[in-house]
Structure 1
């Protein structure tokens, strides 16, 4: 610092720590830590969360982090992620000989036979988990995503040290019953547990956990655990009286297990079921016993009918969020029962339910006036009249998603635009009856719209985007595959949406450099852009785009025949924040590869 130090000389540590807590971004905190050694130490003390990708020598890495960040309470480790160091980091005075630069922070995806013995050093092991437990005894939240090398031994050491643990995510970890039983015995404050794809577990482990910390458990997720059956759910129903969220995906759980939870967990608020062997009997129990239910998601149900959903409508008066996916025997009568009984419904998704038609959605529009989000996916029998009713009755609708709804056209979108003027998100894909008329109405009436996606709607052209540009200030726009849209439409967006940060204009054959010039002038906040398959774009337009869009982080430009290695080099050199450039391999010069090889991605190899 130059001149007199008016901060360090007068402010105590507690005040500076409190200031750090108000910084909501990691880059800001990192910048503060570089001011002086005192601020560096204080910033480390204030850090409560760490996110770690796959790393080489994980034991040493965890020990180093534990020594530097002593107050961490939340750790997320995901072996699907990789980490690269932007700078060479050496040791500071007083540190051990360990340096971050000595740790290979990348994930080994391929190994040869001679390297097979070294593979374990690139994954978190039981030793690393033990080091984590030893160094972060105040831990409250831990996510171990696809850490396939840890076993019950490591989980037992964690449970014994981290007794304050409240949230544990073991997705994809091959842990056994002994480790889970230890968690139940030692972690009496555990509230959230995710066991998705934990194939090594059986009923024994989950029953022991329910016995040990069932009083505190509030959320449980189980998927693809073939040895977990109704016996586990019966234990959950008997001992987990405070359970609020349950997610089940299993072929081995039947009505008996769901009945036990429905009867034993009266505080249940969220239930997600993908259990093909559950029937109406299970849903009737939910409607009778789970009167506090707010979220219900039913996936791939082949055995339940309107009878089960009618029980939910009659009993679950607090239901706000309903997802029905591939429920083939559900008809308009079941949805009508929900509409009549669940007046507080705010979110509805209907996906691939081929026996639900216009009449079912009309009842939602008439009765559910608080609806804020509606998603209709692959609903061929739902027509314009359904959305006409939604437009009249659901004035608070903020998000509408339509995918492959061939019977919905411009009249429906016009009704939504006129009646739902608070609309913020409109996502449409492959709805070929929707054209300029409907999107123009959205631009005229929905002034709060910030996200628009009209992918592969080949009747939408420049006139629609001009209306959107004049009426709305977008942050996200996706017009991929709308071949009638060209420079005029994108120019209108560029001039009317200065906050635009995400844009997909792929497969627009009429888009040229003029649009890129205007985007460069009008959208300086642009972070992600997809230009793939735009044949008329050239290096000239790309240069104009990146000249002012210096915040660009991602650029996809595959199969743009007018863009050469010069354009690729321009993007890399002009955008200091660039993280990903997707392009053909032949367009990357050796110099560009040396300069930014880590951010270059190739969609395919040269043919």
Structure 2
């Protein structure tokens, strides 16, 4: 509608209406496309942008200053120096713009420059000067995330606090800020609700105490991990000042019962509690059960000093509990899980990971009592047998996701029970459960008509017969059959013909899979975006060519240790798939021409092969 010499939209539409349209655009590519229509739309789109995300760059301070000048209404700023950023267009001079503003920003990745001795690594890290620019430029800032910005200090954080009094969320994961900076946040930012201090090694009790004094009335979420100088003293301050705290995540060997007790007694509205504290015992969990009746999520990791007594207290007091994770809790038994099942009938998510004393009877009680269960994960549970899942199948009709890893006593009978009873199942992930074979997976194909995500990694009793049933009965979108050596062309062809919505496929280590299956996938699965072919010895350039001829949306392709695929096959993938983002292959299979054409998307597993 905007033609050369004729603008049919701009004279009619006011700024307010265009801004409102921009605010309703869901994706960044859509907003970017609108911004290049004309200079007016570019300026208005910048005014409407409320979220800025920044990855690693050569000169982050200069980049932040530039962004702050252009997106003055941004409320959410996320800076993550673990991540590289990909630029869709080459930086260059805009007509009427400052020719030096962008030329100083050479946004190459630090990882690409790491071999040069001339590069000062500090230039790749946001400094206090950049943080000051954030505070001065984004005056409406409400959410600030600084992930592993190792060069910022209390001085930079203080400048943010003084300029951005509307700050509500602050994530300082991996930042070496000190007490003065955190105290400044407490003094100036009276609306802070969410605070993440994971891996902030420079903090002590003093800083966190001063923050709780200033923000205690608004703080709702707090995360602390690997902060050796934060002790029970800080948690006592949290319990005293943060009456409205709803989420607490603690990972520390320096926290004891005293701190958790203080939080349980003082923060009666607590809904989420995640603990990885090896010195916490039953006494603390009993207090949680008594005082935190609103608790909805509890995650206990690597607990070695609490028993069924503590978990029983949770079952008695936390009637609203919906999500429970028990990981490496060696002294828990079926009795503790039975107490939770009996008391927490609203439970919807349960994960039992490496709790070697929990067996079949505990899961039986879950199946009988927790009829709302929608997701169940059993990892490294050697004592849990078929009958446990039979009870889950009978009682948990709303189950949508089941994860099984290294559960050696669970076999086809259990999977058949799940298939027969849980017809709403959408996700089934099974890994190294060697008693699961064709019988169980066929039952899934016949009964679970909503299944979209199936993973059967290293289930070596599963073969083509099972995948034929899945292809005929389930609308699979994600499929992983890595290491299922009995699966060959027939099974994958059935998937190709029956699952046109397939977008992810991992068939690595399938020695009997060949080019015929690749050709069928190309014909039947045009939406395929990610494929893993590594260690498939029968697949050649011919099959790969048939695959990419129709699967033009492919974004990632892993094909290491495939002797039938040569440099020509790699080049075919690169040339056929315009949206390809990653190709994993041996270095010697990449020609110089292919490297010049798409070197940025090629990764090498074994450089010297």
Same fold (TM > 0.5): yes
1:2 aligned partner = 3
Which of 327, 342, 348 aligns to 1:346? It is: 348
Corresponding position of 1:511: 513
2:107 alignment counterpart:
105
What's 2:118 paired with? 115
Deviation at 1:25, TM superposition (A): 1.3
Any idea what SS the aligned residue of 1:281 has?
helix
The superposition leaves residues 476-509 of structure 1 with CA deviations (integer Å, 9 ceiling, x where unpaired) of 0000000011111111111111111111111010
Structure 2 counterpart of 1:388: 390
The equivalent residue for 1:285 is 287
CA contact (8 A) 1:347 1:374 kept: yes
In the other structure, the counterpart of 1:320 is: 322
Q: 1:467 to 1:100 in 2, by over 3 A?
A: farther
1:87 Cα offset (Å)? 2.5
Alignment pair present for 1:225 and 2:227: yes
Question: Any idea what SS the aligned residue of 1:115 has?
Answer: coil
Pairing partner for 1:29 from 13, 31, 36: 31
Q: Which runs of 5+ in 2 are unaligned?
A: none
1:583 aligns with 2:585: yes
Mapped contact 2:574–2:594 kept (Cα < 8 A): yes
Aligned length: 606
Name 2:456's counterpart in structure 1: 454
Deviation at 1:113, TM superposition (A): 9.1
Consecutive unaligned residues in structure 1, runs of 5 or more: none
Contact 1:84 1:105 in 2 (8 A): no
SS at match of 1:387: helix
Q: Pick the aligned partner of 2:170 from 168, 171, 184.
A: 168
Moved more, 361-370 or 107-116: 107-116
Comparing 205-214 with 12-21, greater Cα deviation is found at: 12-21
Residues 194 and 542 (structure 1), Cα distance of their counterparts in 2 relative to 1, 3 Å cut:
same
Query: Which residues in structure 2 correspond to 1:288-307 (within 5 Å)?
Result: 288-307=290-309
Mapped partners of 1:281, 1:54: distance in 2: 45
Render the CA deviation track for 1:445-489: whole Å, top value 9, x for unaligned.
Answer: 000000000000000001111100000111100000000111111
Please report the TM-score for the alignment, with normalisation by the length of structure 2: 0.98
In the alignment, which of 174, 177, 180 is matched to residue 178 of structure 1? 180
| Change beyond 3 A, Cα 1:552–1:606 | same
CA distance in 1, matches of 2:492, 2:451: 16
Displacement after TM superposition at 1:287 (Å): 0.2
| Distance in 1 separating the partners of 2:116 and 2:445 | 60
* CA shift digits 1:241-283 (9 cap, x unpaired): 1100000000000000000000000110000000000000000
- Counterpart of 2:239? 237
Supply the distance in 2 between the matched residues of 1:331 and 1:106 (Cα, whole angstroms). Answer: 53
CA distance in 2, matches of 1:360, 1:100: 62
Higher alpha-carbon deviation: 493-502 or 290-299: 493-502
| Runs of 4 or more consecutive aligned structure 1 residues displaced over 6 Å after TM superposition | none
Find the counterpart in structure 2 of residue 442 from structure 1: 444
Deviations 1:416-438 (A, max 9, x none): 00100000000000000000000
1:313–1:341: 8 Å Cα contact kept in structure 2? yes
Q: 1:6 to 1:113 in 2, by over 3 A?
A: closer
Q: How does 1:307-456 map to 2 (within 5 A)?
A: 307-456=309-458
Q: 1:432 to 1:112 in 2, by over 3 A?
A: closer
**Residue pair 2:57, 2:110 contacting (<8 A) in 1 also:** no
- TM-superposed CA distance for 1:57, in Å, is 1.7
SS at match of 2:508: coil
> Structure 2 matches for 1:452-531, cutoff 5 A?
452-531=454-533
**Displacement after TM superposition at 1:215 (Å):** 0.7
Counterpart for residue 126 of structure 1: 128
Q: State how far apart, in whole Å, the 2-side matches of 1:198 and 1:107 are.
A: 25
- Take 1:11 and 1:487, find their aligned partners in 2: how far apart are those partners? 58
**Separation (CA, whole Å) in 2 of partners of 1:603 and 1:111:** 19
> 3-state DSSP class of the match of 1:327?
coil
Which of these residues, 140, 143, 149, is aligned with residue 147 of structure 1? 149
2:263 to 254, 261, 264: 261
Higher mean C-alpha displacement, 502-511 vs 96-105? 96-105
Secondary structure of the residue aligned to 1:401 is strand
Q: 1:54 maps to what in 2?
A: 56
Secondary structure of 2:326's aligned partner:
strand
Alpha-carbon distance, 1:111 to partner: 5.0
